[in-house]
Amino acid sequence: MKANEMIGNISTIGLDLAKTCFRFKFNRLVPCTVGMECCGSIRYWGCKVQLYSITINKIS
């Protein structure tokens, strides 16, 4: 895959915010939905992810 190529065919992503390290290149995704567990950092990461026109679903 080329560096500037978009990643398609992904509609939903689950992101575990409890990890100490994760890497995800949201700028290469087509708009999709990201599920995040409600925790102390969801507001921070939710704001970052929404910059890329990605919808956030809170999981409690």
Domain hosting residue 19, numbered range: 12-59
The pTM score is: 0.69
pLDDT digits (tens, 9 = 90+) for 1-60: 565 666 667 888 888 887 777 777 777 777 889 899 888 888 898 898 888 888 989 988
Which H or E run contains 36?
strand 33-37
* Residue 31 counted as domain residue: yes
d(C-alpha 36, C-alpha 23), whole Å: 15
Flag whether 54 is in a domain. Answer: yes
- CA 58 vs CA 5, 7, 20, 36, 54: distances in Å: 29, 23, 20, 5, 13
DSSP one-letter string for 44-60: HHHHHHHTTT-EEEEE-
Q: Which DSSP string do the residues of 17-35 spell out, in sequence order?
A: TTSS-----GGGBPS-EEE
**Residue 3 counted as domain residue:** no
**Structurally, how many domains does the chain consist of?**
1
